Amino acid sequence: MTIRNQKGVTLLEMMVGLGLSAFVIMVVVAVQVHMTKEQALLTRQLGDSIDQNLAERIIFKNLNGIEASYNNIVVKDDHGNNFYDFYPDLTDNMLKVRADRDFNLSLSAGNQEFFVLTQDFASGAMLNYDPVWAYTVGPEPADPNVPATLTFNASKNRGWISNEKSGGRPGFWRDGNILFFDTPNRIRPVTNGVVDRLIPPRSPFFIGSINVQAGDNLQVMTGGAENLFKLTQPANGNPITSLDVFLRALPSVGGGQTIVRARVVKLIRYSVEPDTKKKPEDYETQPLNLYYSEYRNGKWEGKFMLADGVEKMILRRDSVMKRMIYFKIFKSKKK
């Protein structure tokens, strides 16, 4: 025979039970709140990481063909030196100027724009350009000591460049494309018979954009972009105002014909602006939007955003004797 307790639940037992239940519920709620916060943080960090990685992959691709930038465009770094200075023929002990280059793309550093001149491989490989393509040769003079006339012919130039059967590149001559002409020769100015080795050596070059509606002549850079380029002869500082001027003053290579190279390039601008969709007081530093835009047909095209909530993008070169560029995007941290 089983004897059962007929007293039921006492008030004390009920209070203890309710207290334990409340404690368990409180622990469960606290754990859920913590997990929700952690999940939201992880989701935000994952989103920032994906955003940052995609932006860095795009920038890495653009920097892959950046050889045309060195010693040809001017972008001042944080110390007032040209970021694209390049000394391929000096050693550390010969260099008497600062060797590294740093550029902080941020509002706090005062650098809101960074420019890149990079080869557009999608339009075709580099072309060994024959200067004869650009000229019409006049009749042969009766005097053998007098040269025949050479007349620049923009239509002939376009035809040869576009003719794949004759070694041209049909992908080059498209509306909005930018053509870049230079030589492998690297020249320094000479003062009183002495070569100034502290000045980076460079080739003369010409850069012009294609505007089909404007005809076959390459259009000079405008809209402020022209101020980026060293469009002068490296030996004497004479301006290079057209493809004709560039071709008529090619540097000598000891009597042989100078090699001329042509390629399609892209002029890219990275810029930062305040991120107006985020509250600055929620972040340790003001969040910025990182934008990308290209120069086409005499103006900068509409920019598109690479990443939001950015603190800064840094670009660095350890030495002006190397072409290697390191870069990193930093996201603004929440308080």
pLDDT of residue 255: 66
pLDDT in tens, 257-292: 788 999 999 999 999 999 988 888 888 889 999 999
Q: Taking the CA atoms of the chain, what radius of gyration do you get in angstroms?
A: 32
- Name residues whose C-beta falls within 8 Å of residue 282's C-beta, 6 or more positions apart in sequence: 334, 335
Tens-digit pLDDT profile for residues 16-36 = 666 777 666 776 666 666 565
Torsion of CA 267, 273, 275, 276, to 10 degrees: -120
Q: Is residue 204 situated within a structural domain?
A: yes
Structural domains counted in the chain: 1
- Domain presence at residue 273: yes
pLDDT score at 129: 93
Q: Is the entire prediction scored with pTM above 0.75?
A: yes
For 208-242, the pLDDT digits (tens) are 999 988 889 999 998 889 899 999 999 889 999 99
Q: Is the pLDDT of residue 53 over 50?
A: yes
3, part of any domain = no
8 assigned to some structural domain: no
Burial of 93 (0-12, 13-18, 19+ CB in 10 A): exposed
Examine residue 2 and state whether it is found in any structural domain, yes or no.
no
pLDDT in tens, 172-206: 999 999 999 999 999 998 888 888 888 899 999 99
Residue numbers of the domain that contains 255: 51-331
Q: What is the pLDDT of residue 242?
A: 95
In a domain, 46, yes or no: no
Q: What is the mean pLDDT of residues 59-63?
A: 90
In a domain, 155, yes or no: yes
In a domain? residue 144: yes
